[in-house]
Amino acid sequence: MARFSDGWRRQVKICAILAALVIGAASYRAVPASAASPAALFDRTVNGKSVSGVTFHLKDRGIRPALLMAGGGMPSRASLASMGDAGGVFAAVGGVACVSVGGFSMPRGVLIEDGKLIHTGEGLTAAITGDGRFLLDDVSFDLYGYVNGALKVIPWGVNHLTEEGEGITLFTPEFGAVVPVAAGSRAVVVADGVVSHITSSDFVVPDNGFAFLFNPDVVYMVGERFKIGDHASYDYRANTVMTRPQDWGDVSVAIGALADLVVGGKATAGMHAPEEARKLAARADRAFMGASAGGALTVGLLRDVSLKDAAETCKAMGLVDAVCMDAGSSAFYFDGQSVKAGADINNSIGFAEISSAGGKGATASLALAKELNVSVKGSVTNLRGYNVGGSNYFMLRDVAYLLKDTEYRFGVGWNGGSKTISIYKGRNYVPDGSELKPAASFADRSAPPGGASLAVSGAVYSLSVYNLDGNNYFRLRDLGGVLGFPVGWDMGAGVILID
């Protein structure tokens, strides 16, 4: 289980206080919904309290959650508006306040992006599963590092800097910046599952790998347990309080939050986060997120409320689970504008139409050529694709070919009249010879957004798509959501799972 010192907790408190001071004079304003927005902004009074927000159903409206990070990676901050614009979302709320570690502003809570654990931390976590369920729990993760198949390392956390002498940290590419290595520390860097080098200098995590950083008091483990060329991997397991551990294997996006408001239909007002609840007795604007019994999700801003006020108001709105996102840096973004700007933050959660391929006035992105192992019913295939904006895109016909002998098989056709790709669920796939073939030039390239829409059983879906090498590349989770096949991730093996 990840460990944190009392000094770490003090830094959290200081960071939260500074955030509150910075936004003391922050203002909010009503933002009208545009015709392009998939949901309408509401402003209403509930229990005598002013609430602004947006309600939608992840299953019904073709909306996906997105973890939004400040542009400089983990140790950086930015405005919620800049994150929302860059992420192409129609609504977003800010995450929990930062914590200062060694001069860096780091995330405080758990972060999961596209099903991958990219940061461990303390406190409550709000999560959304691939099938649109809302989870709230004080979840933690046990981490395991393997060398040549044997357990050799127990990391303290993921992508979170620690100054404690016995600290061991797992870093992944999502850290997004140069990893600082303190005097006396050493890092074991892994690429494609193999130890590529061991360093005492600052380093960048390979896109196709990870690293273990050993602080001075445990640096002896490096020489004892690692050598260049060893096979290395890692895994983790969830420890839960209010949910089932297996639920977290289905999580698509998760973000650290501050205090519970409603749990299981009861107004709890911080019962599951008592230390944080004591900080929230004063009235302030509170960003919140919660779900109704029917699965509709509401995100927004409660104005000038105590924690108790916030809890009772969320319950009166019909939310059966709800969470307060932060201690005072509350920010809420809708339809390209700040309903309330708040302080600069490290991370946030946003919501975008599946049809969105980028932010406002989207321009060409950089598509990074990438090879990933994909397991279908236990059979592993090395598949070439592209990573655009942190998401992996694969050629539609490659996916159809991999699934042709499963219950998820589908046929592919072209409708010249409507300029759409026709998908026939359950039909046998007829290969055209392009499948699983090396691209003429498999390399990083410019990726202008746009491509053909999908027509599935009479419904047309405008998924995020890029036309590269003359072929349409889609995000695998988007295809799974539309066509009904599950997509998972085996962190230890580094394999995408379709099973």
User: What's the pLDDT tens digit per position in 442-451?
Assistant: 777 777 666 6
Residue type at 273? A
To which residue do tokens 């991370």 refer? 347
Query: Which single residue is written with the structure tokens 């099938």?
Result: 131
pLDDT score, position 293: 92
Residue 170 has pLDDT above 90, yes or no: yes
With cut-offs at 50, 70 and 90, classify the pLDDT of residue 1. very low
Is the predicted pLDDT of residue 137 greater than 80, yes or no? Answer: yes
Structure tokens given for 13: 């408190």
Q: Is residue 466 part of a domain?
A: yes
Q: Which of 203, 206, 210 has the alpha carbon at shortest distance from 232?
A: 210
pLDDT category of residue 71 using cuts at 50, 70 and 90: confident
Q: Mean pLDDT of all residues in the chain?
A: 83
The pLDDT of residue 389: 67
Question: Is the per-residue pLDDT at 232 higher than 60?
Answer: yes
Mean pLDDT of all residues in 74-92: 87
Confidence of residue 467 (pLDDT cuts 50, 70, 90): confident
- State which of 232-236, 359-363, 365-369 shows the largest mean pLDDT: 232-236
Output the CA–CA distances (angstroms, integers) from residue 63 to 33, 56, 85, in the order listed: 16, 8, 16
* pLDDT attached to residue 322: 96
Q: Do 347 and 395 share a structural domain?
A: no
Size (the chain), residues: 499
**Is 134 inside a domain boundary?**
no
Residue that terminates a domain, selected from 353, 385, 402: 353
What integer pLDDT is reported at residue 358 of this predicted model? Answer: 42
> Are 445 and 370 in the same domain?
yes
Q: Are residues 339 and 464 in the same domain?
A: no
Query: Which of 386, 351, 349, 354 has the alpha carbon at shortest distance from 371?
Result: 386
User: Of 1-10, 76-85, 244-253, 341-350, which range is least confident?
Assistant: 1-10
Predicted pLDDT at 36: 53
What string of DSSP letters covers 28-88? B---PPPTT-SS-EEEEEETTEEEEEEEE-TTTTTEEEEEEE-TT-TT--B-HHHHHHHHT
Predicted local confidence at residue 416, as pLDDT? 64
Query: Does the residue 299 lie in any domain?
Result: yes
Give residue 26's pLDDT band: very low, low, confident or very high (50, 70, 90): very low
Q: Is 124 exposed, middle or buried (0-12, 13-18, 19+ CB in 10 A)?
A: buried
Q: Is 373 exposed, middle or buried (0-12, 13-18, 19+ CB in 10 A)?
A: middle
Is the pLDDT higher at 130 or at 425? 425
- The H or E element spanning position 125 is strand 125-129
Label residue 320 by pLDDT band (50, 70, 90).
very high
346 & 268 share domain: yes
- Residue where a domain stops, chosen among 236, 271, 292: 236
- 305 and 388 together in one domain: no
Bigger pLDDT: 478 or 143? 143
pLDDT tens for 190-209 read 998 899 999 999 999 988 89
Residues 49 and 174 in one domain: no
Three-state DSSP state, 12? helix
Residues 485 and 457 in one domain: yes
Listed residues 221, 236, 251: the one ending a domain? 236
Segment 418-439 shows an average pLDDT of 83
Q: What is the pLDDT of residue 8?
A: 39
Would you state the pLDDT for residue 469?
A: 74
CB 365 within 8 A of CB 447: yes
Contact 462, 354 (CB under 8 A): yes
> So what's the pLDDT on residue 19?
39
Q: Which one has a higher pLDDT value, 35 or 130?
A: 130
Determine which helix (DSSP H) or strand (DSSP E) holds 446, and give its type and residue range: strand 445-447
Is residue 479, in this structure, part of any structural domain at all? yes
- Quote the number of domains for the chain: 3
Q: Which domain holds residue 405?
A: 365-498
Residue 462 inside a domain? The answer is yes
Domain assignment present for 349: yes
Dmax (CA) of the chain: 68
Q: Rounded to whole angstroms, how far apart are CA atoms 341 and 331?
A: 5
380/473 same-domain check? yes
Q: Read off the amino acid at residue 210.
A: F
Confidence (pLDDT) at 194: 93
| Burial classification of residue 253, based on how many CB atoms lie within 10 Å of its CB (0-12 exposed, 13-18 middle, 19 or more buried) | buried
State the pLDDT at residue 449. 64
Per-residue pLDDT tens digits for 15-25: 433 333 333 33
Amino acid in position 34:
S
Averaged over 76-102, what is the pLDDT?
A: 83
Residues 455 and 418 in one domain: yes
Which structure tokens are listed for 168?
Answer: 């061991």
Mean pLDDT of all residues in 147-160 = 95
| Structure confidence by residue, pLDDT tens digits, 292-316 | 998 899 999 999 999 999 999 999 9
Please say if the pLDDT value at position 437 is more than 80. Answer: no
Q: Does some domain include residue 129?
A: no
Task: Indicate if 482 and 396 belong to the same structural domain.
Answer: yes
In this structure, are 181 and 285 located in the same domain?
A: no
Quick one: pLDDT at residue 417?
62
Query: Does 340 reside within a domain?
Result: yes
According to the model, what pLDDT value does residue 298 have?
Answer: 96
373 & 349 share domain: no
Collapsing DSSP to helix, strand or coil, 401 comes out as: helix
